[in-house]
Structure 1
């Protein structure tokens, strides 16, 4: 019983010290980092809100690339 309490308190202490997850806008601005985190999440070595944010950042970066390619098709250059 006491061993479990110590383990729970240790985990709570570690969780309190973990850094704030990076935002989706951060990952959109850093697509290489977003891809690394998203791959780690898919592999199960990374978890939490940062996974959601990395996936959103990857999707936003891909959307921006597609829009830029679309616009380029209409340019007169």
Structure 2
């Protein structure tokens, strides 16, 4: 007997194993993780939306560091 819901269960199981994409705010709050993901993306070991989010967070963190340095001089 063929079960009609078999392919559906397989699709749900596969989707549940896929980790959720971390957003920019996660990476901004975790600079160590951000640096690792950006490095992995540059090496080709990591791809996708997380790479864009990690690069955006890294840029934001650098901007914040520059602003902090600027404020200290005034």
Settle same-fold status: TM greater than 0.5: yes
Which of the five TM-score ranges fits, normalised by the shorter chain? 0.7 to 0.9
Q: Which runs of 4+ in 1 moved over 2 A?
A: none
Give the TM-score, by structure 2 length: 0.77
2:19 partner SS: coil
Q: What per-residue deviation string (whole Å, max 9, x for no partner) do you get for residues 32-52 of structure 1?
A: 110100000010010111000
Distance 1:65 1:29 in 2: 14
Alignment of 1:1-77 (within 5 A): 14=14, 16=15, 17-74=17-74
Distance 1:55 1:21 in 2: 14
Q: Which runs of 5+ in 2 are unaligned?
A: 1-9
Q: What per-residue deviation string (whole Å, max 9, x for no partner) do you get for residues 25-71 of structure 1?
A: 11111111101000000100101110000001100000000000000
Q: Which runs of 5+ in 1 are unaligned?
A: 1-9
